[in-house]
A and B are shown apart, each in its own frame.
Chain A
Amino acid sequence: MIEVDHLTKRYGDLMAVRDISFEAKKGEILGFLGPNGAGKTTTMRVITGFLPATTGTVRVAGFDIFEQAHEVRQRIGYLPENPPLYNDMTVSSYLAFVGRIKGLTRNEIPDASDRTIERCGLTDVHNRVLGHLSKGFRQRVGLAQALIHDPSVLVLDEPTIGLDPRQIIDIRSLIRDLSGERTVILSTHILPEVAQLCDKVVIINRGRIAVEDSISNLTAVLSLEEVFLKYITSDVAPLTAEAAL
């Protein structure tokens, strides 16, 4: 469903991502792990077509993200690190707007909007202005925004960051419900989250893939924390201090 092939992304002299390749199959939840600054967000931005790759290709649902950007964009739901919210809009009007630019027709909007609002637990706040919502609700609206057009691929950049434990559990179960037909790539710092949710793990460090394997293989001998530390400490020491946090 998502094939990343020898992807490299350079910002000027800085190599953010170097020659990475991995694959997520239909229905899989792929956990994307790595310390801060490892290149997770950059990779996700390339997959969603926000940033162009320097070299390499990405195919989503069989479409090349450069050659057939339009087809890819119709099929991807993307929650960036900061939910892309217009603070002056209400939840409903915002979701209607997103639905329209994602290609839904005017007639499809009410159903899609109601379904998403209910699914993301936004029923009580659907008339509130986004700028007045708490962090947890903002994150959920961000997720709703990614879901409104019923995409077959979901790219979620740290979906549970800044939430309280209760909200984290809610979002996790929502993500679990959403998989199945959909392919999900999610980046996170929270290792237990990966253990609970994901079928497959890609650990990325300093722009390179450190390991790519199924969760059951990786945790056969060591715990996920130990696996994570083993792969990201292999080269530089200072990074581990940060990662251990």
Chain B
Amino acid sequence: MKNTLTIAARDLRSYFTSPIAYVVLTGFLVLGGWFFFNLLSNFNQLLMAYMGYQMPELLDSLNLNELVVAPLLHNLAVVLVILVPMITMRTFAEEKRSGTYELLMTSPIHVGEIVAGKFLGAFVFILLMVLLTAIYPVILLWYGDPEVGVILSGLLGLLLLGSSFVAVGLFTSSLTDNQIVAAVSCLVTLLFLYIIAWPAQSAGEGLGGLLRYLSLTEHYGELVKGVIDTRDLVYFLSVIALALFLTVRSVESLRWR
């Protein structure tokens, strides 16, 4: 545990001593702000239009959660697909290239502690990103009355989604000493998991169901809707556990090859 925290703290610090953290956070907030602004002005336009029609039932159907928060969270998820590989690509690949891998691997620490430490460091960074995005719903709360429960469930979804991405990123980084290879293979894997359910409609009952189950988007969508189902939580936790397990095996394989 002590070693895990030591490694997590070092990794987290290194995100912030290099420009990476600032570039990623800035990019995330700029894009998030732009989405938010657009979604909000669309909402406003609809509001104005419906008020012009003088139809109260239409006005009642306008919902901040559905029209602003949910699309915002879905857009941010796509941004995470692109940004997380940039965060995790260094984790193992850079250590191998700079030779610090030799230091870690010849120290009296277990591979599991190294992997857990690196995951924890990146997880805290993702947590920070998710907390920063909470600023948009807070603005909504100030001026309107969206449902807080649904927002929290969506943010939990974003955190779980980001953590799964991180676990996959650690795995791809552990396979190579080249950061670009690590980032690209992570990006491709994440995109694939993101769109895997696209043919589900035409794939028939069994296969379609399987594809939907594998899809990150489907499970994330439920949480964004405000439905916290154990099935979705289990799905995200299994993705994290599986990816971290594969990472441990991949790191260990160097020792026992």
Contacts and interface: CB of A to CB of B under 8 A. Distances in A.
A83 B107 CA distance: 15
Interface residues of A, number: 29
For B99, B103, B109, which residue has the most chain A Cβ atoms within 10 angstroms?
Answer: B103
A73 interface: yes
B102 interface: yes
Nearest to B101: A84
A103 B108 CA distance: 7
B107 A101 contact: yes
Nearest to B7: A101
Nearest to A74: B108
Contact of A101 (B3, B254, B257): B3
Contacts of B256: 52
A86 B104 CA distance: 12
Interface in B63-115: 98-109
Contact of A50 (B3, B98, B105): B105
Contacts, number: 71
Nearest to B17: A88
Given A97-B6, A100-B2, A50 B102 contact: yes
Dominant SS among interface residues on chain B: helix
Contact of A84 (B6, B7, B102, B255): B102
A100 B3 contact: yes
A73 B101 CA distance: 14
A77 B169 CA distance: 31
A218 interface: no
A239 to B, nearest CB: 27
B98 A86 contact: yes
Contact of B99 (A70, A82, A88, A98): A82
B18 interface: yes
A86 B107 contact: no
Contacts of A102: 107-108
Contacts of B7: 101
A141 to B, nearest CB: 12
A207 B102 CA distance: 22
B14 interface: yes
Contacts of B98: 82, 84-87
B257 A52 contact: yes
A89 B109 CA distance: 21
Contacts of A76: 106
B106 A48 contact: yes
B196 to A, nearest CB: 36
Nearest to B11: A86
B99 A78 contact: no
Contacts of A145: 103
Contact of B104 (A74, A85, A101, A103): A101
Contacts of A82: 98-99
A69 B221 CA distance: 46
21 contacts: A70-B108, A73-B106, A73-B107, A74-B108, A78-B102, A80-B102, A82-B99, A84-B103, A86-B10, A86-B14, A88-B17, A89-B10, A89-B13, A89-B17, A98-B103, A100-B3, A100-B6, A101-B103, A101-B104, A101-B109, A103-B108
